[in-house]
Amino acid sequence: MTDTPTTDDRERRLIDAVVSLAKTFREEHDRLAQRLTQLEREIDTLSVRLDAHEQALAGIIAPGAPPPDPSRTRS
């Protein structure tokens, strides 16, 4: 019967550790979800900018024409 307090203490520590890990995983999940949302917004912004550049280029270069020589493009 002297093992009962030790067993109860180990079980309590194990439960505390599992609860702590669950909290840590939840916080990491939330942080990664926020980062994913931020990256999705950045991708959308870059996609819009790329579309605008492509439309601008389409107005300059005739369809089917070869791309301009890189040495002749502006930086």
pLDDT at site 57:
81
pLDDT at site 75:
52
pLDDT at site 68:
66
pLDDT tens for each residue of 4-54: 778 899 999 999 999 999 999 999 999 999 999 999 999 999 999 999 888
Contact 68, 61 (CB under 8 A): yes
33-68 burial, b at 16+ Cβ within 10 Å, e below that, comes to: eeeeeeeeeeeeeeeeeeeeeeeeeeeeeeeeeeee
Residue 73's region, left for phi above 0, alpha for psi from -120 to 50, else beta, is beta
Question: From the DSSP assignment, how many helices (H) and strands (E) are in the chain?
Answer: 1, 0
Measured CA to CA, the distance from residue 10 to residue 4 in angstroms comes to: 10
